[in-house]
Structure formats: structure tokens, C-alpha cells
Structure 1
Amino acid sequence: MQTKLTRTSPIASLKVSNIRRLLLSGVLLLNLLLPSIAQAGRGRALFSLDTVAGTPFPSDLFAVADPTQNTGLRVNLPKPDCLARPSDCQDLDVINTLDGFNLQPRLSIPFDGPIDVTTVTSETVFLISLGDTLDPSDQGGHRVGINQVVWDPATNTLHVESDELLDQHTRYGLIVTNGLHDPGGRRVEASEAFRRFRQEVDGDYKHALLKTVRAARHVGVDEDHIVTASVFTTRSATAILEKIRDQIKSATPAPADFNLGSGGARTVFTLDNLTGITWNRQTGANPPRFTAGQLPLSLLQIIPGAVDRVAFGKYVSPDYMVHPGEYIPPVGTRTGTPQVQGTNEIYFNLFLPSGAKPAGGWPVVILGHGGLLSKNSVPFQVASTMAATGIATIAINVVGHGSGPLGTLTVRQMVGDPVTLAAGGRGIDQNGDGVIGDNEGHLAAAPRIISDRSDGTRQTVVDLMQLVHVIEVGMDVDGDGVGDLDPSRVSYFGNSLGGIYGTILLAVEPSIRVGVAGAAGELIESFRLGGAGNRSLVAGRRFLAARNPSLINSPGITKLNGVALAPPYFNENLPLRDGVSMTVALEDGTTRVVQSPVINAAPGAMAIQEVFEHFEWVSQSSNPAAFARHLQRSPLAGMPQKSVLFLFAKGDLTVPNPTTTAILRAGDLADRTIFFRNDLALAEDPRMSRNPHGFAFAIADPSALAREIARGTQQRVALFLASGGELIIHPEPARFFEVPVLLPLPEDLSYIP
């Protein structure tokens, strides 16, 4: 007989009470596990000590100690494969000489998955100041929000802009909180690497990070709400020009020379005796080639009899730029000494008023011309108005402007022989193509392309500081041994590029207390947003297409807010501030609205955004916004507050409104503005230009209304300067102006197609 073996089930052997007890325990265990199961799917903010892409950026993790710098640091970003990406490596060679990070930083925060971008606000992501590295008493505490949100799904990285221009050589903490949510509505949490770093790792960076956490607590953010953070130090922007200014002021320059004619003939002329001035511009090299034209003498008679004499002179100025290359070598911002590389003869045009000279000499305004122009054009447009108010006008060429150095001026007179003198051009054939462009020599050459206009602009400021010092030692125009210009009443007026370097000059030159900057803006953003050629010629060709490898992507933007652009086309997919929308047309025929927050879907856009960030970072030493905060709000050491006025026009295509408002925000200068409403003027007279960039200088415009607006603006500028900056009078026709600009500041483009 076969025996069948059976196995009794354990459950079957349990009593009913035990079964109930086991089931209850299982339910309790499941309830305990559910939160952990739910949390397992939460997004995490990344943190790393090793890679730029794996941690919040900027971060002092990517800097090294350098006691020669104001910040005690020098940037030390890792390089990519330089054979594959040579342009990136060239850029980093320049960036890695800086003593800190961008004053208007692009903040990048990586995650391990997607987030809900609608939860990205200045409450959930923000900066907090930890103090000035040069001022031990500054404990920081100022909170700064964010703007211009971009989410990159390809890398799960959040990019935002600082809502304010940050203070120079100052440490900041970047705080990211669990107020950010993932797409499922769950709070983002900290990574294990961030928790471990705070608990286990020691060192200076940890202590700085803990200081950030404590600072966040003071503004109401608990430590357990912080999911990732970084600490970074902003670069110095003004230090080198301050050092150079002190060098200039410590020396005594030779007097200005007015004997520029053949055989040392004096080059001072009575306007009524002039019949014409021929400018023989050097426009080519190897062999030299010239293009002749006439200077606009008739503009000096816009107000008949206001200008008495026209003088041409020169002075010697220290050159801090290396040639070839056109750059200023970096030195430590704390202990370094800028080195003079040579000297330049700087030529100037001077226009003296009619009437009896005041006892101390004529008040004088330095006139700053714009890009691609020269001392032989723009000053003629304003000298008559200034002279009618008793102000002399003096102007030099910007570095790289005024055509080549072999050009001449030939002055023809009713009584007396013609006099030929050097025109004082500062252009060069930098690229060796035999042509001297209108600003060739102003920009840095390869491999320092990223420096762009920074050093040419700073050298121009140096030349103007030297000009002020030459006026201070006595500028004897008529040769009687007495100075003809009043060194205590030197003012400034410039437009476009002239407004940009003029803002810088006003911040660092103590002897100029009054100034007017027209159409000034952040240069890099002007190139990106400009609808008047800058976007294609500068941003497209120089910044992107010329790179190796090229960053031109497709489909590119062909229209900005209805204004047609020129190729090369590209699409950076970067929004304006404050959620302001921008309509773009693309090469593929589609139209889209770019508005923060942006979820990027444009291939190649993120690489372009990074390049623009790097250019902006390097340009801070010549960024007018970085200097604007030192005009009134926080003057540099030893500097008085300045009385300033900013002119700008709605819908400026060359220097777009958001680039000017950046200056006004940085310096708290909205109340020091004259805002021209070109939209209203164009509605009244269709002959008005759709680009009002030079509205204050259009005294010879075909439109009678444009001429009236230009004269009215210039008269108010002259009265402002003559009053020592006390009088701000509404220009006529008053219906076209806001004085000051009505708030909120215009952050849109307002282009008129």
C-alpha cells in the first residue's frame, strides 16, 4: 500500500485571531511604506564638487586662490577638447584671468528629471549677498530675485538670470528651495550628494555654503527647505580703470599742440573765414588708398554766429593696449599695476563760442561720437547749440575710428593759403585685407575675440581722462599764454557708443561732474536684440558664425517683432525680462512668441545662450550698467556724486530699450531721463525715421519735425550742462517727450516695422 505524504499550510494551522493580527500588521506596514514609495519618484536637484554641469553654477568651486585679486580668487573653469572646440578654449583662456563671475549672471541649476517651470519664482530660487570681499564690515543679507526663465529638457537644467545687476567683488549664495515642484506636483528634494556634503565634507567652500544657509534663515527660509545651493564671487569691474586714472593724475602731461600745419603753422581758424574743409580719409592699406569728402561746415551755422573759431590740436596719451592684438593685458585687481605699452598722439577738434571769453575760460563739453563715426562728423551736429549757450565743444576719435592714420584735413580760407594737417585717424587694417574699416582696430583680435570692444572702449576712456588732465594744466588755443578752457567746468555729452563709454568716464573721472548719455545700453544685449544690423553683423557673424565649430543653428530668426533681419540667422530662444513677449519669425516660415518661462525646443539654442553669457561676463569691465551704479547710488572711492541725464527713444533699433533700462535699473536713474516717443512723432509725420537712435542729432534731417525735435533736445541738454546739472527742462515739442520716463520702465522692444 502506497502512503501519500501531505504538507499542511501554515495559514491553515493558524488560529483565526492570529490571522487577523497578521493582516492588521500588513496594513500598518503598507501605510508606513507608502510615503517612501511615493518619494522614490520625486525629482532631485543635483550637486557635485567635480563637474560644472552637475552642480549649480556659478560656483567658487571653479576658482583658485589668487591673493593679487580683490576677491582673493581667480576663475579656473575646465576646458573641453581644444582640438574639437578651439573657440571655447580661447574664450576660457580669457575668462580664467578674471577675479570672479558675471555681475549679471546666468544661473544654471541641474536636476535629475523634469520640473514644473511655473513653480520657478523669486521665492523658490534666489540670491543672497554674503558681503563685499574688500569690506569686512559688510555682512550682506540683500536678497535678489530671478528673471528670464529657460528650462532645457535635453539636460534637465534650469537657467535663469539674476533680476538685478550684482555688486562687484561680492560673494553671493544661490539658494534653491523645495518650493520647486516636479510635473506631478511633488516637492523637489535634495540629492544625497548635497546632504552628505553638508554633513561630512570640510573646507572653505563648505563654510561659505553654511554661511549661505544661515543667511537664508534670516530671510525666512529654513535649512530643511533648501535642496541645493552654491556660493560664488562676482568679478571686479572698475578696478583697472581706477588704477589707470590714478596713474594719469599723478603725472603732468605736456600741453596740447595747436601747431599742426606744414612748418608748424597754427591750426586755429575763424569760422567766418572758412570756405571748406576736405577730409582725405585713409580707407585702404598696402598700398594706402584715400577717399575724399567735405566736413559739414554748414552745420556750425545752424544758429548763425554762435561758433567763432574752429581749432585742431593734439596731445599725447598713454597706450595700455598691446598691438597687434588690441587688448589690455590682465593684471591683479588688488595688487597688480597696469603697464603702459606706449603712447599715442590723440588729435581733437575744438569749437569755441563767439563773444567775450569768461574770466576762467570757456566751459567745455567733451562730445563722444558713436560707433562707426568720428570726430569729423558728430561734433559738427551739436557745436552750434552748445556755443549758443556759451559752451565750447571738443572731440577725439574713439580707438579704431576716424579711418587710417595717414588721412589729412585741408582747410580752405577766404583769406590765407590752404592749410593741410593730419586728420588723426585711429583705424588700422587689422585683418590684413587691405581695407581699413570704420571701426577696425577697436575690437580685440583672435585669439581674444571674446574681449570684443572691452579694451578698445577702456582705452578710449583712458584717452579722455588724459584729455581732461591736459585741459587742467591749461589749454592755450590762441597762443597768448593763457588757458582758454575752464578746467572746473568740464562736462560730457555722447550718444550710442559715446553714451556707453561716457557713462564709464563719468563714473571714474572726478573732474567731470555733469554729463548726458544718449542711447546708451549694454553692448552684448544690443547686439543680440538689435534690429539695425548689429544682430547679424556682430552677434551672428563675429560671435557665432566665426566660431570653430560654428554655432549658427536652424531655423534661425528672420524677424524680431516684425522687423526684418539680415543673415546669418540664428535662434537663441532667450526671453525678455518680466514676462514681456517677443514675436519672432523663423526661416521655416513659422512664427512664435518667446516669453518667460521658455521650455527650449530649439536645437543649438543653449550653446548660443552660453556664448552670450560668456561675452557679457568678460565685457563687465566696459559695461555701462556696471559703472552706472557708481554715478549717484554708490560712488567709487574718492569720487563725488554726478549729475547725469540719460536720453533714449522708444523703439530704438540700434540700442534696444531693454539694454538702456538695464543701465537705469543698475543706477536707480529712472528719474534722470528724457524719453522720446518716436511712435507719436511717426504717427504725426511718416517721414520720421523708424529707428530713432540718433534723434537728438538729426538737425539736418529731411523731416522738419525731426529737425525741430533734435534742436529742442540739444537746447535742453545745453541748458542742463550750463547749469551744472541743475536744470532738467522738458524739451519741445513737449508732446513727444516723457520727462522723466513714465514707470514701469519699457522692457519691450517696441519696434515699428
Structure 2
Amino acid sequence: MRRLPLSIAAALCLSIALAVAACGDDGAGAAGDAAGADTAGGDATADTAVGEPLAFCEGATTFAYDPLGNDVLVGFPDDAWTVAGESATGLRVSLEHMAWLDSLPDLLRAPADDLAALDGWGTSAGVVLHFSAPVSAVPSGEAASLASDAVMLVALDGEVAERVPFEAQALDDGTTIVLWPMRPLAPKARYGVVVTTALTAADGGCVSPSPTLRGLLAGAPEDARLVSLAPRYAELLAKTGLRADEVSAALVYTTQSVGDASRAAAADIATRTYAWSVAPTCTTTSAWRFCKGAFTAWDYRHEGFLGDPITPVSYEIPVWIWLPPKSAGGGPYPTIIYGHGIGSRAAEGEFVAQSAAPLGFATVAISTLRHGDHPTARQGVANADVLDLFGLDLGSFSLKGLVFRENLRQAALDKLQLVALLRDAPDVTGDGAADLDGDRLAYYGISLGGIMGSDFLALGTHVGAAVLAVAGGRLVQVITEGSSFAPVKDLLTGILDDPEGVERLAPIIQTLIDGGDPVSYAPHVLADRFAGAPPHVLQQMVIGDETVPNVTNRSLARALGVTLVPPVFQEVGLIDVAASAPVRGNRDGGAVTAALFQYDRQSYTPGGTPQVATHAGIFGGIESEEQTFGFFSSYFAGEVPLVTDPYADLGTPPLP
């Protein structure tokens, strides 16, 4: 594709002229306020500035982009739907008077309204482009998306555009494409997506940009409300080296802030002292000593959402503890904090204690939000734990994505406060001696507990090792891709009366979730830490997982930056693959272990006949137990943890 030299002087003149025009337009609406706060500066220009005539495609297939007038959703996300605001990005999403909102069913009105609480768009959410007719195949995956001159997702905060790899999804018989970034985008940053004339329609013709988009690309939009957005398109052209008439479709947008409110809450937690509000009482069995108490924790969901200033209220959380038997010797004991699965509760920690107690490790668990004996849980209501967690109200047929986001964020803060309690009040049995070792803490999260692990690990500084079992990220795809959630998807599909409606609107829901989604925090677990040293991390995934689908496992692995340990059953992309197992100290000059292991089978006796691994069944198999507790044992022994191949160690044969 042709790349044209650009005049810096001409670019500067155009940017200044457009900025002056925006300032002088008292009637500028949403887009005028938004783009003016985030213009590209002096090195962006449209081709009209250098005097070359433009010849846009005039094909029958169109990208009918008109962000302030479309009555259907043609492109998403879009900074045309933002206004200047007091926020970390300088923006606020505003969808007032957008005609396409009228096309949404009642189910999606709440999510659309909730977007107004955001200061930008998704970091892991997909980009939606809708065409008037099917288009040809869109590149997908690391190699294809980075090499393509037909479709590009680019970061725009640098001097030149930086390509972002994506996976493409085709909907509506090829008239709609969704681009899912393979790694989360940077928060509070500018991005753009470009479809060039190299992408043809399915009939072989070119794809024609709308008059509105042509005006933006040429630097002369007809709608005065879009004038100050034009420099963003000039920047997009300049940094990609494209002529305006080489473009068939394009969007520019700013990502939301992620983690700021949670970090502020974590800082507040660090200033507090925690104690038992209900002293633990203990019973002794031959296997362990079981104790149960409670502590007062702070709920940071200001008016339902984490806010600034922080105005927490308190609630009392029961704590379940399994100590090793007295025969194991005195404490303080290395301690595993357990995060349970969806629909379960803290009592499930007994499953972990069965393996941990004989090794001399304590197990501690609390129920997560909306579950078990957590104070936010509704008792005696069928499926309330799952529905309330996701923000689904079947009575009103409404879906509240921000509720799910806040449940995820507050769950991490509950665990941070639990850690503070274990360190401040380690005496569980009441004999004056510490039972729990606050300097040797590990985390074992299974399913939902694994999903919630990244936020917790990124924000905390005292957990030194973690196993995130069958965990995933970009959580809207748990519903759209997970077979276990097919009944929920089918219900939503029926309400929408659209076989692909859930997939098409998933990027909107994910945009709401992103502020609490594990992939948003995972980049800060092993690198770019908010505070403290990185923990050792072992992520475990099950091939063909029916509950937390593999697409979400891969998203989390890429965001974490773990290394895939053989045997390899499924490519992940964008992460290293170890030459062989075992793996130890593969990061930070040998100081940190960070690995992903894939399970395709499980067995119950060494060398026994294996079964196909499943989401729930893997935890009854000997392979997962061998690997997990070997990892924890090496960490608690003061070593850099070891990640083994349990199939080799136990002699598990391949599947028949």
C-alpha cells in the first residue's frame, strides 16, 4: 500500500485551524467537547492539506457511519459520544439523544445508560463495525492482524501508530465484524481502527465510506458538532501513513481509566488495623482444627460504585480456617487463602484443607460477594448468588454490567482486608501465639476464585504465590462462549429476539465490566506493579473448558504474560513457550516463576486410565493436586516455586 510523505508544517496549520473552528462554534455538541480535550497535536494532517485530490471508493457496500444520526449501531466505540468532563481522561461518555439507542430492547437500556458513568471506552472490549452487506474475510490472530494492510487496530499516543493484534469475529453473515484485542489496551489512551480499501466486499467490490466519515477524513466535516473530532482522524491518517481515500471505515476512541478507584481503596485499607469482631471458636478432628470467626470489613462501593472520595460503610464477614492438626507441630503455619467457585461458598475450603493440612499448611476462606454467608448474599432465593453477581434481574429483564464490575472490584478489596486481618491478628486459637504466618501467604483460586485473583494480586503486596485454576478474563465471553452458561445466553437471545444479538452487544457489556475484569489488572501482577514485588503465578486451564471457555483462559494468560509449559495442547499466542518442563524462575532473572499449564485429561490413580479433563473434574484428579501443592510446597520452603508436568511425574498415559 502506498505511503505518502507528510508535511509537518501543513499538519500544524490544519490542527490549529480546526482547533480555532471548534472553539468558535458555540453550537458544538458531544463530539465537539470531547475531541477538543484530546486532539493529536501538530503532526497530523488530512491529504487535502497537501493539495492532492481525493477519490473515495464508490462501491455498493457501505460503512454508513453517522454517529450522531444512525438509528442502528454502525460503529462502537466512538469518541463522538463523549463530552469534556472532570475525570482521569478529561472525558465522560454521553449517549444523550443518540438515535440508535431507540433500537435497543429494554434489556439493554440499563447497560447503555450505565455507560454514562465511564470516562472512556473498553480496554479489552471488542470494536464493532457494521457494513451494509457482507465483507470478505477479516485477518485474525497475532500474525495475520499485525501484517494486514486491510484492517488495523492501532495505539495513537506515540509518534507513530503502534499495531495491536486482534482476533476477529464475523456476525450477521459477514456484515458485522468485531475486533477483540489480544491483550488489554492501555487505560486512558487514544486508539483508532482503520479498514482500508484492501478489504473488499464479499462481492469483490470496494467498501464505500459514508459522507460523514469522508468529511472527517478530509478535515472538513459537514456537521458542526463533529468539527473538533477531525484532528483525531488527521492524527490517525498521519500516524498510519494512509491517504484519506484509502480508508473505507474508521473509528477513534479513548480508553477508560482502570484501577484508579481500586488503588485508592487499597491505599485506604493499608492505613487501617484489622481485628476479629467475633473471636474464632475451634473444634478439633484427627484431620485438622477447624475454626470460625468474623471481622469487620469496609465496603467501598460508594452509592453502589467505587467512588472518589472514598466513603466506605462496613459489614461483618465470616472467616473459615482449617489449621493443621496439633501433631503437625506448632504455628505459625504457612497459609493458603482459598477463593471458591461460582455458586459455592467459603465452606468449600475444606476441599483444599484435605491436601493442605497434612503438609502443615493452614487454609483460610471467605465467601465472595453475593455468595454463601457473605453479608451481601440473599439467602433462600434460588440462583440469587449467580444472578446477583452478574447483575441480572430476571423480574425486570434487565442487565446491569456495572453491578458485576463492582462485585469484582469489592471482592478484591475484601480479600485485601482479609490479608490485613491475618497479618494483624494471626492468633486464631486464642492462646496468645500466632497460628497463621503473615509472611508466608499464598492464594488458590478456583474458577470464579481464580477469575478474581488478578485484581487481588495486582493490588496487594503480601501474597507471594498464587495458583489461578481454570480462570479467565474478558468475562462477557464466559456467557457468549461458555456452554455451561448456554441457558443464560439462550434466555437473553430470546428476549432480544435476535440469534446473534448477544454477541453483537457483548462489546458494550464488556466495556462496563472492564474496570473490574481480571485482564485489566493482570498486566500489573507480574510487571508494571502498582506496589511491591511480583508474586509467583501458576495458571491452569482445561482444554475445552465448558464453564470458563478457553478464549477467556487465553486472554488472561496473555494479559499476565505467563510462559506456556509443555505439553502444549492449544496455542495461546503472544506468550513464550518453554522448551520443556519443569519450569522455575523463568522471569526477573530467575527470581519469579510464572507459568500456564494446560490439562487435557485427569486420572485418579498413578498410571490409571485417564478421562477427558473437565472444568469441575480436574480438581478430583491426582495431576492437579500434584502440581498445585508441589508449587505451594516449594514456595513455602523458601524456594523459587517449581512448575512440573504432572503427567510425566505420575506416569499418566495419553487419552485413548
| TM-score interval (norm. to shorter) | 0.7 to 0.9
Contact 1:258/1:314 (8 A) holds in 2: yes
Aligned-partner Cα distance in 2 for 1:619–1:171 = 19
TM-score normalised per structure 1: 0.66
1:366 equivalent to 2:358? Answer no
User: Which of these two proteins has the greater Rg computed from alpha carbons?
Assistant: 1
Q: CA separation of 1:269/1:734 partners in 2, compared to 1, >3 Å: closer, same or farther?
A: same
Give 1:230 shift.
1.8
Task: Give the counterpart of 1:196 among 215, 237, 254.
Answer: 215
**Superposition pairs of residues 34-433 of structure 1, within 5 angstroms:** 41=59, 43-51=61-69, 53=72, 56-76=75-95, 78=98, 85-111=105-131, 113-117=133-137, 122=145, 123=148, 124-131=150-157, 141-150=161-170, 152=172, 156-183=175-202, 185-197=204-216, 198-201=218-221, 203-217=227-241, 221-255=242-276, 257-259=278-280, 267-272=281-286, 300=287, 307=288, 309-321=289-301, 328-329=304-305, 331=307, 336-352=308-324, 354=326, 355-357=328-330, 361-377=332-348, 379-402=349-372, 427-429=377-379
Give 2:296's aligned amino acid: V
Aligned-partner Cα distance in 2 for 1:38–1:498 = 52
Aligned-partner Cα distance in 1 for 2:299–2:56 = 66
Aligned-partner Cα distance in 2 for 1:339–1:484 = 33
Aligned-partner Cα distance in 2 for 1:232–1:125 = 16
Contact 2:185/2:255 (8 A) holds in 1: yes
1:484 equivalent to 2:435? Answer yes
Give 2:320's aligned amino acid: F
Aligned-partner Cα distance in 2 for 1:103–1:189 = 28
Give 1:713's aligned amino acid: Q
Match of 1:673 in 2: 595
Match of 1:703 in 2: none
Q: Secondary structure at the match of 1:610?
A: helix
Task: Give the counterpart of 1:493 among 431, 434, 444.
Answer: 444
Contact 1:79/1:89 (8 A) holds in 2: no
Aligned-partner Cα distance in 2 for 1:113–1:365 = 55
Give 1:499's aligned amino acid: G
Task: Give the counterpart of 2:616 among 694, 697, 708.
Answer: 694
CA deviations over 1:400-449 (Å, ceiling 9, x no partner): 222xx5xxxxxxxxxxxxxxxxxx776314xxx86575657534364762
Aligned-partner Cα distance in 1 for 2:201–2:386 = 50
1:624 equivalent to 2:571? Answer no
Aligned-partner Cα distance in 2 for 1:674–1:685 = 23
CA deviations over 1:43-87 (Å, ceiling 9, x no partner): 554443523547643110011222134453334363667698322
Aligned-partner Cα distance in 2 for 1:442–1:380 = 23
Identity rate, percent: 21
Q: CA separation of 1:617/1:191 partners in 2, compared to 1, >3 Å: closer, same or farther?
A: closer
Contact 1:125/1:145 (8 A) holds in 2: no
Coordinate RMSD, CA, aligned: 3.6
Q: CA separation of 1:116/1:70 partners in 2, compared to 1, >3 Å: closer, same or farther?
A: closer
Aligned-partner Cα distance in 1 for 2:440–2:381 = 43
CA deviations over 1:577-619 (Å, ceiling 9, x no partner): xxxxxxxxxxxxxxxxxxxxxxxxxxx2342223322222222
Match of 1:286 in 2: none
Task: Give the counterpart of 2:470 among 493, 505, 519.
Answer: 519
Aligned-partner Cα distance in 1 for 2:178–2:99 = 21
Q: Secondary structure at the match of 1:51?
A: coil
CA deviations over 1:473-497 (Å, ceiling 9, x no partner): 2322232434332222222111000
Q: CA separation of 1:607/1:71 partners in 2, compared to 1, >3 Å: closer, same or farther?
A: farther
Q: Secondary structure at the match of 2:256?
A: coil
Contact 1:530/1:655 (8 A) holds in 2: yes
Aligned-partner Cα distance in 2 for 1:661–1:239 = 25
- Number of equivalent positions: 553
Give 1:515 shift.
1.1
Contact 1:427/1:440 (8 A) holds in 2: no
Match of 2:543 in 1: 650
Match of 1:529 in 2: 481
Q: Secondary structure at the match of 2:471?
A: coil
Give ranges in structure 2 of 5+ residues lacking alignment: 1-53, 565-593
Contact 2:601/2:611 (8 A) holds in 1: no
Match of 1:472 in 2: 423
Q: CA separation of 1:84/1:249 partners in 2, compared to 1, >3 Å: closer, same or farther?
A: closer
Q: CA separation of 1:679/1:269 partners in 2, compared to 1, >3 Å: closer, same or farther?
A: closer
Aligned-partner Cα distance in 2 for 1:497–1:148 = 26
Q: Secondary structure at the match of 2:318?
A: strand
Aligned-partner Cα distance in 2 for 1:725–1:139 = 44
Contact 1:677/1:737 (8 A) holds in 2: no
Q: Secondary structure at the match of 1:161?
A: strand
Contact 1:317/1:346 (8 A) holds in 2: no
Give 1:271 shift.
2.5
Contact 1:97/1:330 (8 A) holds in 2: no
Q: Secondary structure at the match of 1:659?
A: helix
Give ranges in structure 1 of 5+ residues lacking alignment: 1-35, 132-137, 260-266, 273-299, 301-306, 406-423, 553-603, 699-705, 739-751
Task: Give the counterpart of 1:551 among 482, 496, 513.
Answer: 496
Q: Secondary structure at the match of 2:258?
A: coil
Aligned-partner Cα distance in 2 for 1:384–1:682 = 16
Q: Secondary structure at the match of 1:176?
A: strand
Match of 2:410 in 1: 459
Match of 2:555 in 1: 662
Q: CA separation of 1:605/1:140 partners in 2, compared to 1, >3 Å: closer, same or farther?
A: farther
Match of 1:33 in 2: none
Q: CA separation of 1:185/1:682 partners in 2, compared to 1, >3 Å: closer, same or farther?
A: farther
Give 1:163 shift.
3.9
Give 2:641's aligned amino acid: L
TM-score normalised per structure 2: 0.75
Match of 1:508 in 2: 459
Contact 1:397/1:425 (8 A) holds in 2: no
Aligned-partner Cα distance in 2 for 1:41–1:460 = 51
Aligned-partner Cα distance in 1 for 2:420–2:465 = 16
1:717 equivalent to 2:631? Answer yes
Aligned-partner Cα distance in 2 for 1:393–1:353 = 12
Give 1:624's aligned amino acid: P
**Superposition pairs of residues 730-749 of structure 1, within 5 angstroms:** 730-734=644-648
Task: Give the counterpart of 1:449 among 399, 410, 413.
Answer: 399
Q: Secondary structure at the match of 2:184?
A: coil
Aligned-partner Cα distance in 2 for 1:238–1:38 = 42
Give 1:216 shift.
0.7
Give 1:184 shift.
5.4
Q: CA separation of 1:179/1:195 partners in 2, compared to 1, >3 Å: closer, same or farther?
A: same
Q: CA separation of 1:178/1:353 partners in 2, compared to 1, >3 Å: closer, same or farther?
A: farther
Q: CA separation of 1:352/1:169 partners in 2, compared to 1, >3 Å: closer, same or farther?
A: farther
Aligned-partner Cα distance in 2 for 1:684–1:184 = 58
Contact 2:155/2:192 (8 A) holds in 1: yes
Q: Secondary structure at the match of 1:96?
A: helix
Identify, as 1 or 2, the structure richer in helix.
2
Q: Secondary structure at the match of 1:479?
A: coil
Q: CA separation of 1:177/1:163 partners in 2, compared to 1, >3 Å: closer, same or farther?
A: farther
Match of 2:586 in 1: none
Contact 1:166/1:234 (8 A) holds in 2: yes
Contact 2:115/2:512 (8 A) holds in 1: yes
Match of 1:582 in 2: none
Give 1:686 shift.
9.7
Give 2:556's aligned amino acid: I
